[in-house]
Structure 1
Amino acid sequence: MAWDDNVYCAVDIETTGIDPSGGDRIIEIAIVPIYKGKVVKDWIYTSLVNPKVSIQTYAQSVHKISIKDIQSAPGLEDVLSVVRKYSRDTVLVFHNARFDLTFLDYAAKEVGQLPLDVYYIDTLEISKAVYGRGKKLETLATEMGITHKVTHRAYDDALVTANVFIKFFDMFGWERIHEFLRRWMGREY
């Protein structure tokens, strides 16, 4: 299938826990651009983030990021400005978009910015439509023969999300994939 001229950006975050309303925050982010069915390695962005909150022990055991690792990392405001640049005139791609976008909204609110207004596609939503249920990123990657592993680190997981998206796009084409195009304009708190 022919690819369109859009730049797609697979995004993944790692967090201090799973509840942004309870104070959990972003501690790592990666953005992996895709153009014409290929990952554009020169445009990849990845960064640890210092949200100035503690990391739950459970979360540390999942992604292996400690407070010491993020002490000198940029803050939420710096990282959000990068996300806004990458989201301009692109389509973001997530696996479980609501999770990542909700955390990004909380980050924006915390630093006094408006929430993101972005177009996105969720590979979890595509998997629900294709398989009748949502599949974990690891499961999709294995079934699709993607060799890069999900490690619960932002770069690796964004790269896997990018490759899952490429496979879905190649399977279904632009018209069918764009049935999953959504717009996020912040969420209600």
Structure 2
Amino acid sequence: MDEQKNSLGRMWSLYKIGGLTPAIASMLGSQNAQQMAFIRSVMKEQRKQSMFETPIAELEFVVFDLETTGFHPSQGDEIISVGAVLVEGTRPRHDRFFYSLINPKRNIPQKIIELTGITQAMANDAPDLLEVLHRFLEFADKRILIAHGGGHDRQFLNAALWKTTRIMLTHRFLDTMMIYRWLHPKESVYDLDALLERYGIPVSERHHALEDAKMTAILWEKLMIEVQDRNVHTLGDLYAYLSQ
């Protein structure tokens, strides 16, 4: 307990002298401090961006997906992989992608191993959360994030960011599930499997973060054809309709 108090005291003294990054660098190492500083700078710059009048066709997006140990980050569930692919306007760029496993620092339930194919040994050899967050946000940059049923993914990303850097996600966010529900309000089934079948999108591999992200990117492309048929062309137009 005394050692913990002394460590906190040293960190507080460093914070008062030089700010958060030098304090973290002293306590956790310079590499972690640099990763945290980068993540904070991305979040800060993201709040400055104004894209609402920009045509969707001129924007860049990052479609992403997470695999996790469960559904509840508040109860100790963790991210075990993240996959993402760049989309230019409505066109997926499958040659520009990001994928990494993450060491969750906990046991992976057997049902998750069977679902994702990610074994405990694979996870134990994977990079730590902070390192992967740094690389993922470097890939995402200031682009708008897209996910299907994105409440789950956004919740886990926010929990991970808060755990590692005490900040929350500030990227603009779109959910292909919400877009589909707006376009087809009378339909009751809109999970990813159902929509892949509805739009004739070939299923490469489910519950693999990168493959799910790639298929969701193709789904985005299909949905944008319908969106533009509704005379929705800018990001602001799309947000306005989704908020109704």
Distance 1:177 1:124, change over 3 A: farther
Structure showing the higher helix proportion among its residues: 2
Question: Match for residue 232 of structure 2?
Answer: 175
What stretches of structure 1 of length at least 5 have no aligned partner? 183-189
Q: Which has the larger radius of gyration?
A: 2
Question: Match for residue 7 of structure 1?
Answer: 60
Calculate percent identity across the aligned residue pairs: 25
Aligned equivalent of 2:123, options 67, 70, 80: 70
One-letter identity of the residue aligned with 1:24: D
Larger RCO: Structure 1 or Structure 2 (Cα < 8 Å, ≥ 6 residues apart)? 1
Q: Do the aligned partners of 2:82 and 2:101 also contact (CA within 8 Å) in 1?
A: yes
User: 1:69-102, CA deviations, whole angstroms, 9 ceiling, x for partnerless residues?
Assistant: 1122111101111232233321111001110011
Distance 1:18 1:40, change over 3 A: same
Secondary structure at the aligned position of 2:172 is classed as strand
Question: Match for residue 140 of structure 1?
Answer: 195
Structure showing the higher strand proportion among its residues: 1
Give distance in 1, aligned partners of 2:94 and 2:148.
20
User: 1:142-184, CA deviations, whole angstroms, 9 ceiling, x for partnerless residues?
Assistant: 11111134511101110111010110012212826734549xx
Question: Match for residue 56 of structure 1?
Answer: 109
Question: How many equivalent residue pairs?
Answer: 181
Does 2:158 correspond to 1:105?
A: yes
What stretches of structure 2 of length at least 5 have no aligned partner? 1-54
Give distance in 2, aligned partners of 1:8 and 1:181.
15
Question: Match for residue 145 of structure 2?
Answer: 92
Q: Normalised by the size of structure 2, how large is the TM-score?
A: 0.68
Secondary structure at the aligned position of 1:65 is classed as coil
Q: Do the aligned partners of 1:125 and 1:134 also contact (CA within 8 Å) in 2?
A: no
Aligned-residue CA RMSD in angstroms? 2.1
